[in-house]
Amino acid sequence: MTLLLSPDDAGIARAADLLRQGELVAFPTETVYGLGGDARSDRAVAGIFAAKGRPSFNPLIVHLPDLAAAEAIAQIGPQARDLAAAFWPGPLTLVLPLRADAGISPLVSAGLPTVAIRVPTHPLAQRLLRAFGGPVAAPSANPSGRVSPTRAEHVLDGLSGRIAAVLDGGPCAVGLESTIILADPDPILLRPGGLPVEALEAALGASLAIGGAADRPNAPGQLASHYAPEAGVRLNATHAQGDEVLVGFGPVKGALTLSETGDLVEAAARLFQTLRDADRLAGPGGRIAFAPIPETGLGRAINDRLRRAAAPRD
C-alpha cells in the first residue's frame, strides 16, 4: 500500500528512510509532484520506469539541494553557471555534461553523456533532499503519457499501490514542469516550462534556440501525444460545439476557466487540475475545448502542454 506522509519532520524522515532503502517516494516540488528514487541505485531507477510504465530510453531529471551538490555530478559551464546563479533554486533544469565519477545509475541518463539537473525551491523538496543527502531521480509522478500531478491525490489516482509513499505538500504553486535548457556552448530550449523563456533570455543576454523537437523524442515531454486526458481535446475555441466542455481564459467564458482575469500565472497553476476536472465533466467519449492562450510568458509552456494533450493518440 502507498503511504500518505504528512509534511512534518516525521513524514520527511520516513520519506528519506524509504529512499535510502531503494523505495520510491513521490514528493512535491513547486512545479509538479516528482516520483523520486535514489539516482545511484539501478534498482530504484528501474523501479521508477516500471511504476510509470515509461519507455526506458527517456532520461530522468536528477534533483539536488544546491549548486555545490550539482558540481559533484556535472560540469557546469559558464552560461550554466550564470543561469544557476540567477534561477536556482527554482523551476529550471539544466542539461550538463555528466562527470565520469558521478556515481549516477546509467539508467538515469539513458546512456547519454549528459545529465539533467534541477534544484527545486519547494521547502519540502529541499528538506527531503537534505535529509536524504543524495541525488534523487524524479520524473513527474504520473503514469507515462497522462496528466502531470499537482496534488498528492493526483499521485495516488495514478500510482497508488505501485510506490511506497507520497509526501503530501498540498497543491503545487507553479503547476507546469520545469523549463529545460542546454546552456553550453550555445543555449538551447529543450522544453518550455515554469520559468518563462523571456526571463532566461534576459539573463543570458541572448535569444534561445528552440531544440528538443518532436523528431527527437528522447523524453515523454517531447513525444507528440502526452499530458493526455481521456476526453478528446480541441484548441483555440471561442465557443463550445455540441456537448464539448469549454475551458475559458480571460474574455472567453466556459464551464470552467483557467483564469477569469486572463492571468497566465494563475492559468499555469490551474492547468493540470483543470484538465482533470474537464475530463470528469466530459465523461466517457466526451470532448474538451480550450480557449486561446497567448504565446507569451508562461503561455508558451501552457500551449505546449495543450498541444500535446490535443495531439492524435496511437
Q: Which of 79, 150, 222, 273 binds ligand TXA (CB under 6 A)?
A: 222
Question: What part of residues 148-167 is at the interface with Mg ion (CB under 5 A)?
Answer: none
* Residue 179 cell numbers, joined: 523549463
Binding mask 110-129 for ligand TXA (x = CB under 6 A): --x-xxx-x-----------
The answer to whether 139 contacts ligand TXA (rule: CB under 6 A) is yes
Residue 285: how many other CB atoms lie within 10 Å: 9
Please identify, using beta-carbon distances, which residue of 123 and 283 lies nearer to ligand TXA: 123
* Sequence-ordered strand ranges (E) for the chain: 3-5, 25-27, 34-38, 61-63, 92-97, 114-118, 136-137, 165-167, 179-182, 188-191, 209-210, 232-234, 245-248, 256-257, 287-290
Instruction: State in angstroms the smallest separation of the CB of 14 from Mg ion.
Output: 25
- Residue 93 backbone phi and psi in degrees, to 5: -110, 130
Stretch near ligand TXA under the rule CB under 6 A, chosen from 64-72, 134-142, 231-239, 280-288: 134-142
Q: Which of 105, 109, 257, 274 binds ligand TXA (CB under 6 A)?
A: 109
- Residue 216 backbone phi and psi in degrees, to 5: -130, 70
- Residue 38 backbone phi and psi in degrees, to 5: -60, 115
The answer to whether 169 contacts ligand TXA (rule: CB under 6 A) is no
Instruction: State in angstroms the smallest separation of the CB of 15 from ligand TXA.
Output: 14
Please identify, using beta-carbon distances, which residue of 140 and 257 lies nearer to Mg ion: 140
Question: What part of residues 24-83 is at the interface with ligand TXA (CB under 6 A)?
Answer: 29, 31-32, 34, 59-61
Read off the amino acid at residue 277: D
**Cβ–Cβ under 8 Å, residues 154 and 57:** no
Q: Which of 138, 165, 252, 291 binds ligand TXA (CB under 6 A)?
A: 138
Q: How far is CA 44 from the centre of its chain?
A: 19
The answer to whether 58 contacts Mg ion (rule: CB under 5 A) is no
Whole-angstrom Cα distance, residue 149 to residue 131? 23
Beta bridge partners of 210: 189
Instruction: State in angstroms the smallest separation of the CB of 36 from ligand TXA.
Output: 8
Q: Which of 31, 105, 140, 273 binds Mg ion (CB under 5 A)?
A: 140
Please identify, using beta-carbon distances, which residue of 59 and 286 lies nearer to ligand TXA: 59
Whole-angstrom Cα distance, residue 9 to residue 12? 5
Contacting positions for ligand TXA (CB under 6 A): 29, 31-32, 34, 59-61, 93, 95, 109, 112, 114-116, 118, 138-140, 177-178, 180, 190-191, 218-222
Contacting positions for Mg ion (CB under 5 A): 140
